[in-house]
Structure formats: structure tokens, C-alpha cells
Structure 1
Amino acid sequence: MSAIAGIFNYDGGPVTEEDGGRLMEALRRYPADDDRVWRSGPVFLGCRVQWITPESVGESLPYYDDGGQVAVAADAILDNRDELFGLLGIEPGRRGRMGDAELIAAAYLKWGKEAPRRLIGDYAFVLWDERKRLLFGARDLLGSRTLYYRRDAGRLAFCTAAHPLLELPGARKDVNESWLAEFLAIPVILDAVDVRGTVYRSVEQLPPAHWLAVEDGRLTLEQYDALDAPREPLRLRTDGDYEEAFRDVFREAVSSKLRTFRKVGASLSGGLDSGAVVGFAAGPLREAGKTLQAYSYLPAPDFADWTPRRLAADESPFIRSTVGHVGNMAYSGLDFAGRDSYGEIDDLIGLLEGPYKFFENSFWIKGILERAQADGVGVLLTGARGNYSVSWGPAMDYYARLLRGLRWVRLYRELKQYGRRVNVGRSRLLPAIGEQAFPFAAGIANRRRATASEPRLIHPGLAARTGVYARLAGHDVGLEGADFDEFAARAYQFGGLAYSNHQGTSITKFSLRYGVWERDPTADPRVIRFCLSVPDEQYVRHGMDRALIRRATASYLPDDVRLNQRVRGVQGADWLHRMRPAWPRFVDELRLLCRDSAAAGYLNVAQVKASLERIGPEPRPEYAYDPDARLLMRALIAWRFLKSLA
């Protein structure tokens, strides 16, 4: 709930008021309810505080524990407070007014460097242990909050945001070519696989699930935990037992994320993930006398949906069904007339402190947060990572596994039921499953997500001098030559740190701007660990994909949403349609890019020209997911960022 900042001088010398002041002044761009600092000799800590939870109102941050002689700067909302109170022996009379920073201090004083393993929630903190002369900090398991740092001779400076660190003496905004090369080379939405680097050469970041410590003048980073699948899956007696266990853990996760003295909102689509979140949130809020504020993005009113029948750019029918079934919601469907991806570029580069890739959805994500802020929302619930946790269950990949394992009887029964649900015959399903099960034996290439003809944005020279493609080999980032497998993708989502790092970066930056915390129960570690422990056959069962969540939400979601296997929502399909009035200006700017010598060192200008020629002067809306159209937009965003550094 804070933008935190600090400086530690290794030699024990005092931190100057000027340097501490520079950090705090740079944070003034963010709205705040309070702004305080703490100094002691070689340490400066600062917090620009946004009050979100009831306990945070009036909380004194940075927090100092007199008995333990520990000072804490924390950007945190903890979800397992009751568990921690019990483990730490906190008297009941203190619990209601105890802030999360104080709870973090108590956890550190009991468990030391093992404390982050005990904390569940969204957090980044740094503390100073005066007795041990130790600076210690940590970032939560999913990286939901950011923590950047800068090292120079004899000093460590850190901050929730990157730009204040660039205001310190000696800092330069030089580009980190290695990070930028990853950003340009990776064709999917992921920014980079380097979880310690940033786009700025002099600024690093603490990865998710890591702690840092500075002791005796030496900085140490260490991973303290991981989200790995258990060796042995969870074994329960009946399907109903799995469903009840799912409801128990998901209910706990959702309820723990409703803690705010302000309103609670939710970003709602027509699918299972966000639908389940609002379904489990509406009841507890009703009991608390609150109404859930729900927001949905809708395509432009004049947009003609060009997507295939199995996809839906406009999810309104499903959304209305969920709202009506769940109840206790004040619903707003927002089409953001007059807004488009092109018009938001400069503002988003400044907000995110770097280039970005989610341009198709950028304007409406911002718009929903702006509306939530205006409505007095403190917490905005999402289901952003549900595809690989609560709504896991890729039928075709699972059936390919059955085929490889020669489990013919089960495969036959499943395909018969699955075909009925999706209205596709087994004669059409079997060849597709065979290609997934034995891609090389079948002699096919269409299993690959990208081909050698996929346009590349990165300049060949930059790729060569940074060795980016060698570094990316083995990472699930959509490059050619990598067979796509949903099971491997899931393992990379949670076993690796890159996607968590990417997600947490945008969540933190948006919350700082708007004072609204996005909280995702589908990314709660308790939920993820439970979902990773459930046997695969619970996720694809009786011809039903994503079967566990469909069964477990029988009374929480309407059947037309819960049992829908034929239509899936797709967001951002109208981004090119919205940009058509601005397209001439967009093209003119790309032509300037192609003549800029600075861009030529980083961007594949020849490919930009070729993609521009291919898309043409009048882009069709159905080019929204065309790789050339997407390359053009990403090129312009990268170029705008590079120009901002001049």
C-alpha cells in the first residue's frame, strides 16, 4: 500500500537529506494519503502511503519496532493475518489495529530470513535490523509488487518504482541492450526472461520469491520458495470431494482479498475465471453490507465482429447472465468511445517506465482503473492467471497424453462425450489429437507456434551481439522451433519466474497511479498449490474440459457460462478498428521511424517497411492478430520509448 524507497551506505556514513529527498520527491507523482521517512545513520527509509485496508488508515510508515530495533518500509497486503497472529502469539486485543508492516516486523523477529516463506499476500518490503547491522528485504512468491535497486560504490538504493533511482547523482538512463533484445525478440506478450534486469542498465530488480540482504558490505540474493507440482498428486475419494476441496481453498483466497475500507470492484469477462471470482466474492460482500462494483470492456458500438463463430469479441450475453445469476453487483459495461491503443502510448510508457506489449488491451485496462478510482474502489478483483490454475484443463492436450500412454478405453469414452459437448465428430478429433501426440512421427510442421517466416522486430545486429536467441532457447516464449504443449506451458508459468515478474510489474505501476490494488485470487499461492496437486483426470472428465471449476461452481455461475464449451471470449479484437481514423498519422510516424538512425541500431527497419507495405494504407479490422500489424505497433512503442531517453 506504499511506494517505498531507501538508501543504505555500506561504510556506515549518514545518508544525506538531499539524496533521500530526491527519492521522495520523485515519488510525488503518485497519489498518497501520507508521506513519511525514517533515518538512522547509514539508513534512509521512506514510504508514500496509500490507505487501502482498514488497518492501514493512519498507520505510521516506515514502522519501527522499539523492542526488536527493526525499521520496516513495506508495500504490502497480507492475506494470512489470522494464521500469523496465531503463530506469533499476538494478543487478540492488538490484532484489529495491527498494520501489515508491524506484522512483517514480528515475523522477521521470530523467523529471520525464513519469514518470507511464512507470508501470503502481495508484498515487497525492506527492513533495517539495527542490532545485526543487516538490511533485509523480500518480494512475494508471485512477484505481485516490485522492488528495484541500484548499486554504486558503497551504496544500495531501492524503490518500488525505477525512475526515482535515476534521479540520484551519477545515474544515467542508458538502455540495457540485453533486456531490450529479449523484449524485441520474444513474440508473445512476455517482456523478458531476465527477472533481475530492467530496461535501464543501472537499475536491477529483485525477482519474485527472492530475498535480498546486505551484510558486511556484501549484497546477497536468494530464492526462498517455489511453486512446483508435488511429487505425488492429491488423492481424494470422490469427484465431490475434489469439488468441495476446490471451493474451500478458493473461498478462502477470495475472502482474504476483500479487505479494504473502500469499495470492492472486479474486472469481469464472460468466462469462468473472473466469473468464479465474482461468484465467490458477492456473498461475503453482501454479508458485510457492501455491493460489488463490476466493470467489463465492450467493443466499440460500430464494430462488426469478424472473429470465427467459436470466438466472441462481445461477451455481453455471458456477462449479463453472470451478473443476473450472482447478484449483489453494480455493473458497468464500458466501451470507451473515442479511445484507442495509439492515443495511449506515451502515457503508458511513462506509467510503466518502459516499453510494453499489451497494446490491444491497454486503453481499456487503463479505463477500467480510472473508472474504479472515480467510484472509490480500493481493491479490484481479477482472474488474470486462472487459465493455468483454477480453470486448467486442456482437453486436446490431455487426450494426446492418453493416446501416447495407450489408454485406449478411457480415450474412446472421453472422445465420445467430448464430441457431443463441442459438436465435433471423433473422425475430426482423432487426427488432431494424433498430431499433438506424435508431431514428428506424423511429419507435420503445423504444431509449431511460429515459423521461419514470422516477422522479427529485433535488428539482426542487436540479436547477434547480445546472443539473445541462445539465451531464450529452452524458454516457453513462442519462438520458432518450439513445440507447444499446454502442460509444459503451465509448468513454465508457475515453475519459472518470468511471467510472474511481468504480471507484477504492470499491476504495481497501475496501482501506484490510480490507488487501486488489482488482486487476483487465481494467483493466490494456496490456490495454485492446490491446483497443481489435483490429478489431471479431474481437469478433463466426461468430455468436459476445465472440468473441475465447471463442476465446483454449479451454484455460483449460470449454466450458460459454466458449461459453455463452444464459444470463448476474445478481447482486443477491435483495436485496429478503433485506430482506423488515426491510421494515416500512425503510418507517417512509422515512416519517420524508418529514417531515424537511432532506431536502426535496435529495430529491424527493413521488416518494419515490409510489414507496413503488407498491411497497407487501409488496414482491415481482421488484421488485429496479424503478426505484421502487431509488429508495427510494437515497433512504434519501442521507438517512442527510445526517443524518451534522449
Structure 2
Amino acid sequence: MSAIAGIYNFHQEPVNPDYSRNLMNAFELYPADRIHKWCNDSIFFGCHAQWITPESLGEVLPYYDYDKGLVITADAIIDNRDELFDELRIKGNQPKSLPDSQLILLAYEKWGEEVPKHLIGDFAFMIWDKKNQKLFGARDFSGSRTLYFHQSEIQFAFSTTTKSLLSLPYVEKRLNEEWLAEFLAIPSMVEAVSSISTVYKDIQQIPPSHSICVQNDKVTLTRYCNLEANETLKLKSNEEYEEAFQEIFQKVVTSKIRTYGRVGAQLSGGLDSGSVVSFAAKGLRKENKTLHTFSYIPEDDFIDWTPFYFIPDERSYIKETVNYVGNINDEYLSFEGRSPLTELDEFLSIMEMPYKFFDNSFWLKGISEHASKQGIKVLLNGARGNFSISWGSQTLTLNHYASLLKKLRWLQLYKDLGAFCNHFKTEKSHILSIVTKKAFPRISNMLARANQENYKFPLLLNPELAIRTNVAEKLVKYAIDITGNNNEKPNDLRLNHFKHLYTWNKSGTANTKLSLQYGVLDRDPTNDLRVIRYCLSVPEEQYVTNGMERSLIRRATRNYLPDKVRLNQLSRGIQGADAIHRLTGSWKLIYSELKQLTKDSRIEGLLNIDVIKKALDDIGVNPRPEVIFDDSYRVLTRSLTVYRFIKNFTEGR
């Protein structure tokens, strides 16, 4: 993968060489296999390349096709190469060595601005079309690779990083208060609902699933991909759904492990990463390669305080997977002495923005850093699995049983309910009572409303800024409740996850920035377009059949995963449970810094100081380990990351 940048002067003025030099110099902190530039009067393209695939070795980017008058700079790995070769009628020995960037260019020649619809993979690219005097580019459907831009009346500039754009003398580090208002008001891990804005007012980004066209001084963004559950797939048996999943997932995983280097994977004790690892190890065995797995574990002196259904140390489950699957070299990393605080400033610098996954930041960064030292080029994960391959929560299962009850399908309900109670070791009468309330909710809802507590997530945003930015009304349009109460039905929750683009940017930003920092590309087969489309087409009952939540993946991984992992419905892993343990020695410093924050004039107009003071009183100077589940803890850690970012990355040029 690569960091790319460019400048387009609208009125045919030559590109200032200092500006292009500044853009590229900002990439110097990242490792590179080749740095190359292309400039022609009013256009400049640059690429700070990291070679990952066999076809990228020796690749020259930007690439100029003189005959066609097309230039491309790209940060891309295309996964559906074989299909594109057929559609483009590319035959002979050429496909084996053709770089992905040139494949995109050939596809653009055939389909023009429709080209992103034909591409599957992780990509961000820009093409200069000399004949049509047009700049065209796109970002993949989930925004796996970042692409930022700044536009003015006379110029358009783009880059993989905001640091690069901020090197231009006319781009200021002005804080985008509307973006920050969304960040602070949203209770969940979502950063902002605006998929085009960034933390900086002068910088925007191409949203996921969008292309961009710059022509005649006009910038146009177009959405080219919508993920919806359209037609339901109808197969003859459960086994056919399982076989179809296995075929698609193996194809997808195999396309994700295409690299000349070593392949690694993040591995927990659960279904998603376990499934990725089992299919990857099988695919790599054919290449005579070993899969290297990296698993986060707590420090040795951590005392488990969690409820019985949580597993902070998943080694027993991970080792079951490793031994069952085979062809795996497993490592367990505790990152002794590191904490979310020790990595805070560096991680903010890497991310180029505030972030909410405070407790997991240090080990995500640590795994990428360690994998890089081991020669890993591709690092697999299963981060999107909860909404794709392992969809089917307990709530969805019980809702399905309620549907059977309402439709008077007694025999099917009796059979499924018996299997469910057997899995969860509970009484059928108890579950039937819950199902009845779901099937006939009017009375139970009246009772629930009478007893419901009016709890609200603390508003971390300054109330005056909330009014000025109209953030509450804006979030309602995106089905986000600032109180933190989520009453969406499971299927609505899933469809909204794929419908709204704001769910994608967080993972794309982290993956891009970490890959640039360490030269290790994160790839998620559970987030592949082919996998998601298949999973959205599967009938609901496939996810809840045989009395199992997440039924499809449990059945489809028979002979792929050990039963201890595959059939486990009683416990789940939890990363970050040792956050307070790691912060114990430095919590008083955090407490002191947050006290200082409440008196800082730069902050009082942005954050709700009263809420922060209350959270400090609630948590105190000696927090209990279980406060990681407390909203007051989230208020404090989010306040800290925002405070550090504002102090270090928004002042001065």
C-alpha cells in the first residue's frame, strides 16, 4: 500500500514546487520501498509506495500511460483480479505481473466514472484524464484507505494523510467544531455522522463508497455503492447455505493473503477471528506458508475481576483453535509496562484525530509494531464479523421465536426452543415467558415504561456548542440517540450499520495510518463486499436455527474450528479488561491533568466542564477495575484524548 498526494491548479498555473515538495516530505516518517513523483504544468502526483503484493514489486507510481493520456497514483489492492481480467479480456502472461494500479487504469478506460462499481478490494486512487481535463478518483465501499482533500477557488489538493495537506501554507489547523460536536455528543464508538468532514475545518475526505470528479473548477462527489438486503437467497437446505458460505469465504480469504511477504492474523478466542484464521491457514498451506497469529493477553499480575461470562485471558480458547487448525505459529503478547496513557500522544499522532477506543489503542498499535518486526506484510482480522459472518444475537434468536409463536408454528417453536434451552442450560418456561412478551408486547411495554429509568449518557459537549451546531437534531436524522438508549430491532440495527457511512470511517482511518506507520497492511475478510452481500441475502432463520445464536457461522465452521470455540455460547472474550490495572500507577497523573483541563480556557467552550467534574468525583483517584463499564470513565478518557489533541495538534501552523 502507499501514501499518495497531488495538486491540481484549476487555471493552468504551474504547480509550485515547494508545495509538492512539502506534500511528499510529510510522508518521510513512514517506511517506503519507492518514492516517485510526476508533474506536468498544472498537475502534480506523488506516491510514497510500500510494496505488499507480488505484482507491486518494482511498481512505478504515479504511472503515466502516454498513449492514452492517463496518469494514476493509487493506494490500492484489488481482490477480484481474475474477474476483471475476464471482463477486460486480458489474456496470456500479462495478468500475472500486472500491477493493481494499471488494472484500475484499464478498467477506467473501459467503464469511465463507473469503474469503482467493478472493483473489489481496499483502495483509494486518483486519475488525471488529460483528454477530458478531468481529475477522477474513488475510495472503496467501506473506506479501508483514507483520502483527504482541500479545495479552494484556484486549487484542489489531495493526500492519504492530513499532515501532508497541513504542510501547505494555505491550509490551517483550524478545529472543526461541528465534527467535534458530533464526536462528543455520540455515546457510541462512532466518531461523527458526517462522512465528508474531518477534525480540521480546512480538510475534507472522500466518503466511503464515493467517487470524486474535479472538472471545470467544480468538485463533485457521487455515491456508487449502496448495501441493502434486496433479494433473499433461497437454497434447498441448511447444508447448502453452509457450503455456499464456505466457498465464498475461502475465495475471499485467499484473495486477502496475496503478498510476497509473511501473513499474520490477530487471533482471539472467538468465532470471527477464529474463522478467518482457519480459512487462511488452509489457503496458506497450499503456498507452503505458515500463518503467524498474534493474540493480546493481560499482564501476568492482572487479577481477573470480571463476571464469569467474560474471558480477559483467552489463551485456552486460542490454543484450542491453533492446535485444531494447524499450520499456525502463535504468539501471545502482553506488552508489559504499556498502557493507553503511555501510547496516547504517539497514537494521536498516528491517527491524526481524537479517538474513542482508548483502552484498546496500545495493543492494536503494539501488534502492528511487533508484526512489522516479524516480516509480516498482511495482517488479517475479523473486525466486521459481528455484522456479517457471525450475525445472529440472542435478541435476534428470541425475536425469531416470537415470530414463530405469532404465526402459530408450534412444532418448530417447540423444537427450536428445546435446543436453545439445552445450549444455554436454562428452563423452557423462563424463555417461553420472554418470547411471549416479545410476541405480544403491548402489555409488557406498558409495564416496562412504567418502571423505566430515564437514564441519559452524560452530555460531554458544551451545551452552548450543542445549540450552535444543532447537533442533537442532526444525529436524530442518522438514528443516533444522544441519551445512549438504543431501542432498534436487531435487523434494523444491522441494516443501518451498512446503510449509514459513518460506521466505516473509524476502522478505515486506524487501518490506513497503522499500515503506513509499520508497513503492515490490515485486511478484514469479514468486511469484504462479496461476504457482506452474501450474508445480507441469507434468510433470518439461518442465523438462529438449531437453537443457536450466530447459527450459520457455527454450522459452517464444523471441521474448521474446535467445538470448544465453535459452540461456545456461554462466555465471550473481552479485551481491555485490564485497562485500570495498567493505569493504576499513572491514574493520579490523569486525574491531575483532567483537573487542569477544567480550568483551561481553550476547553471551556467545547467540553461540558460540569460533567467532567462530576465524572472525576464519581471515579476518584483510586478507581475500581470495573469502572471501565462506567459512563463516567468514558467521559474522562474521551475528554483526555480530546484535550491532548487540541493542545498538540491544533495550535499554530
TM range (shorter): over 0.9
In structure 1, the partner of 2:123 is 123
Q: Name the CA distance, whole Å, in 2 between partners of 1:510 and 1:201.
A: 24
Describe the shift of the 1:260–1:478 C-alpha distance in structure 2 as closer, same or farther (beyond 3 A): farther
In structure 2, the partner of 1:380 is 379
In structure 2, the partner of 1:411 is 413
In structure 1, the partner of 2:314 is 315
Q: Name the CA distance, whole Å, in 2 between partners of 1:307 and 1:146.
A: 37
Whether the aligned pair in 2 keeps the contact of 1:181 and 1:462 (CA below 8 Å) is: yes
In structure 2, the partner of 1:149 is 149
Is 1:458 aligned to residue 457 of structure 2? no
Q: Name the CA distance, whole Å, in 2 between partners of 1:339 and 1:250.
A: 36
| Deviation by residue 1:556-595 (Cα, 9 ceiling, x = unmatched) | 1001101111111111111111101111111111111111
In structure 1, the partner of 2:270 is 271
In structure 1, the partner of 2:367 is 368
Whether the aligned pair in 1 keeps the contact of 2:417 and 2:428 (CA below 8 Å) is: yes
Shift of 1:269: 0.4
| Deviation by residue 1:31-85 (Cα, 9 ceiling, x = unmatched) | 1111001111211000000010011111000011222110000000000111111
| Deviation by residue 1:608-637 (Cα, 9 ceiling, x = unmatched) | 111111111211111111111121111111
| Deviation by residue 1:524-543 (Cα, 9 ceiling, x = unmatched) | 00000000000001110010
| Deviation by residue 1:244-265 (Cα, 9 ceiling, x = unmatched) | 0000100010000011111000
Whether the aligned pair in 1 keeps the contact of 2:250 and 2:279 (CA below 8 Å) is: yes
In structure 2, the partner of 1:421 is 423
Q: Name the CA distance, whole Å, in 2 between partners of 1:431 and 1:461.
A: 47
Shift of 1:474: 4.1
Is 1:603 aligned to residue 607 of structure 2? yes
Shift of 1:342: 1.2
In structure 1, the partner of 2:34 is 34
Q: Name the CA distance, whole Å, in 2 between partners of 1:151 and 1:159.
A: 12
Is 1:252 aligned to residue 251 of structure 2? yes
Q: Name the CA distance, whole Å, in 1 between partners of 2:450 and 2:423.
A: 24
Counterpart among 538, 541, 548 of residue 544 in structure 1 = 548
In structure 2, the partner of 1:183 is 183
Q: Name the CA distance, whole Å, in 1 between partners of 2:130 and 2:453.
A: 54
For residue 76 of structure 2, give the secondary structure of its aligned residue in structure 1: strand
Describe the shift of the 1:451–1:358 C-alpha distance in structure 2 as closer, same or farther (beyond 3 A): farther
Describe the shift of the 1:11–1:434 C-alpha distance in structure 2 as closer, same or farther (beyond 3 A): farther
In structure 2, the partner of 1:171 is 171
Of residues 116-125 and 312-321 in structure 1, the stretch that sits farther from structure 2 once superposed is: 312-321
Q: Name the CA distance, whole Å, in 1 between partners of 2:450 and 2:254.
A: 41
Q: Name the CA distance, whole Å, in 1 between partners of 2:362 and 2:612.
A: 24
Q: Name the CA distance, whole Å, in 1 between partners of 2:544 and 2:330.
A: 32
| Deviation by residue 1:165-197 (Cα, 9 ceiling, x = unmatched) | 111122111111110000001111111110000
State the Cα RMSD in Å. Answer: 1.7
Where do 1:336-347 residues align within 5 Å? 336-347=335-346
For residue 213 of structure 2, give the secondary structure of its aligned residue in structure 1: strand
In structure 2, the partner of 1:399 is 398
Of residues 293-302 and 493-502 in structure 1, the stretch that sits farther from structure 2 once superposed is: 493-502
Is 1:479 aligned to residue 482 of structure 2? yes
For residue 108 of structure 1, give the secondary structure of its aligned residue in structure 2: helix
In structure 2, the partner of 1:616 is 620
In structure 1, the partner of 2:325 is 326
| Deviation by residue 1:197-222 (Cα, 9 ceiling, x = unmatched) | 00000000000110000111111110
In structure 1, the partner of 2:232 is 233
Q: Name the CA distance, whole Å, in 1 between partners of 2:308 and 2:239.
A: 34
Kindly provide the amino acid, as one letter, of the partner of residue 460 in structure 2. Answer: L
Where do 1:19-30 residues align within 5 Å? 19-30=19-30
Of residues 208-217 and 434-443 in structure 1, the stretch that sits farther from structure 2 once superposed is: 434-443
Q: Name the CA distance, whole Å, in 2 between partners of 1:509 and 1:636.
A: 21
In structure 2, the partner of 1:201 is 201
In structure 1, the partner of 2:12 is 12
After TM superposition, the score normalised by the length of structure 2 is 0.96
Q: Which runs of 5+ in 1 are unaligned?
A: none
Of residues 605-614 and 496-505 in structure 1, the stretch that sits farther from structure 2 once superposed is: 496-505
In structure 1, the partner of 2:61 is 61
Q: Name the CA distance, whole Å, in 2 between partners of 1:115 and 1:326.
A: 39
Whether the aligned pair in 1 keeps the contact of 2:143 and 2:209 (CA below 8 Å) is: yes
Q: Name the CA distance, whole Å, in 2 between partners of 1:450 and 1:364.
A: 36
Describe the shift of the 1:240–1:204 C-alpha distance in structure 2 as closer, same or farther (beyond 3 A): same
Counterpart among 498, 501, 505 of residue 509 in structure 2 = 505
Whether the aligned pair in 1 keeps the contact of 2:78 and 2:122 (CA below 8 Å) is: yes
Whether the aligned pair in 2 keeps the contact of 1:136 and 1:213 (CA below 8 Å) is: yes
Shift of 1:411: 3.2
Q: Name the CA distance, whole Å, in 2 between partners of 1:548 and 1:316.
A: 25
Shift of 1:344: 1.3
After TM superposition, the score normalised by the length of structure 1 is 0.97
Q: Name the CA distance, whole Å, in 2 between partners of 1:411 and 1:489.
A: 25
Of residues 208-217 and 484-493 in structure 1, the stretch that sits farther from structure 2 once superposed is: 484-493
Kindly provide the amino acid, as one letter, of the partner of residue 395 in structure 2. Answer: M
For residue 243 of structure 2, give the secondary structure of its aligned residue in structure 1: helix
Describe the shift of the 1:319–1:448 C-alpha distance in structure 2 as closer, same or farther (beyond 3 A): farther
| Deviation by residue 1:461-506 (Cα, 9 ceiling, x = unmatched) | 1111101111001434453354143212211121221111222111
Kindly provide the amino acid, as one letter, of the partner of residue 83 in structure 2. Answer: E
Of residues 554-563 and 9-18 in structure 1, the stretch that sits farther from structure 2 once superposed is: 9-18
For this pair of structures, how many residues does the alignment match?
Answer: 645
Q: Name the CA distance, whole Å, in 2 between partners of 1:623 and 1:482.
A: 21
For residue 29 of structure 1, give the secondary structure of its aligned residue in structure 2: coil
Shift of 1:402: 4.1
Q: Name the CA distance, whole Å, in 2 between partners of 1:276 and 1:431.
A: 34
Q: Name the CA distance, whole Å, in 1 between partners of 2:526 and 2:221.
A: 28
Shift of 1:367: 0.7
Kindly provide the amino acid, as one letter, of the partner of residue 608 in structure 1. Answer: I
For residue 27 of structure 1, give the secondary structure of its aligned residue in structure 2: coil
Is 1:589 aligned to residue 593 of structure 2? yes
Aligned-residue sequence identity (percent) comes to 46
In structure 2, the partner of 1:219 is 219
Whether the aligned pair in 1 keeps the contact of 2:401 and 2:417 (CA below 8 Å) is: no
For residue 124 of structure 1, give the secondary structure of its aligned residue in structure 2: strand
Describe the shift of the 1:421–1:158 C-alpha distance in structure 2 as closer, same or farther (beyond 3 A): same
Whether the aligned pair in 2 keeps the contact of 1:447 and 1:484 (CA below 8 Å) is: no
Shift of 1:431: 4.4
Q: Name the CA distance, whole Å, in 1 between partners of 2:434 and 2:363.
A: 36
Q: Name the CA distance, whole Å, in 1 between partners of 2:245 and 2:340.
A: 38
